Amino acid sequence: MATRRGRSRCRSQADRASCGTPEQPSGAGSTSLLASATTWPLKRYGRFLSPTDSEDGERSGHSWKVFESNEESGHLILTIVVSGHFFISQGRTVLEGFSLIDAQKWLRIARRADCLLLHAQTKNECRMFRVQFGGDSEEQMLEHCCSCVQKLAEYVPVHEADELSQNLCYSHSQVEDAEQNTSVLRVVSRAILGGSVRS
């Protein structure tokens, strides 16, 4: 069993390094037989929907589409392949998929407790999603998150929530469409400062 680390938040590089990877508890942080991928179980995955993405077609404001991990719909799994590819899947359905190579140029990641918020900015398009890690206890959920953060940090920096919020304030001020991006920034701030993934 992994050494118990209490409620470590991995707030610094030193803390991250000291946070041990679980020895395959419930499949978390486990490596495939071919040693080509590492996986972590998720409790929830939330996808940000802009008004134009809303399923009902109504511009009723920003919202999140939340997927729950369960037997009926399938278990949510976050996978990072040795080639640098990142996936989130539920059963046989891939919900997210992209390469982490050079991702520091367009991807920002914030961590709060057992949750991660990922914010992708390409040209004038912004998309976000967030995940909450699964586990048999709160401590195990934090360990899974910490383990994943260590792996992600090989490709892109992982910030604390408050730090990313400040950086986003600066980056969005450089975009011409200030009104739209200010609205998006408010959503980002609420997401990364609000803790758990919720619908």
> Residue 6 domain-assigned?
no
> Residue 99 domain-assigned?
yes
> Residue 100 domain-assigned?
yes
> Residue 186 domain-assigned?
yes
Between 29 and 88, the higher pLDDT residue: 88
Say whether pLDDT at 169 is over 50.
no
> Residue 93 domain-assigned?
yes
- Residue 86 makes CB contacts below 8 A (sequence gap 6+) with 78, 79, 80, 96, 97, 98, 99, 100
> Residue 1 domain-assigned?
no
Domain that includes residue 87, residue range: 13-193
Domain tally, the chain: 1
| Residue 7 to residue 48: CA distance in whole angstroms | 28
> Residue 2 domain-assigned?
no
| Tokens 């993934």 belong to residue | 197
Instruction: Kindly indicate the confidence band of residue 55, based on its pLDDT and cuts at 50, 70 and 90.
Output: low
pLDDT in tens, 14-37: 344 334 333 333 455 654 434 689
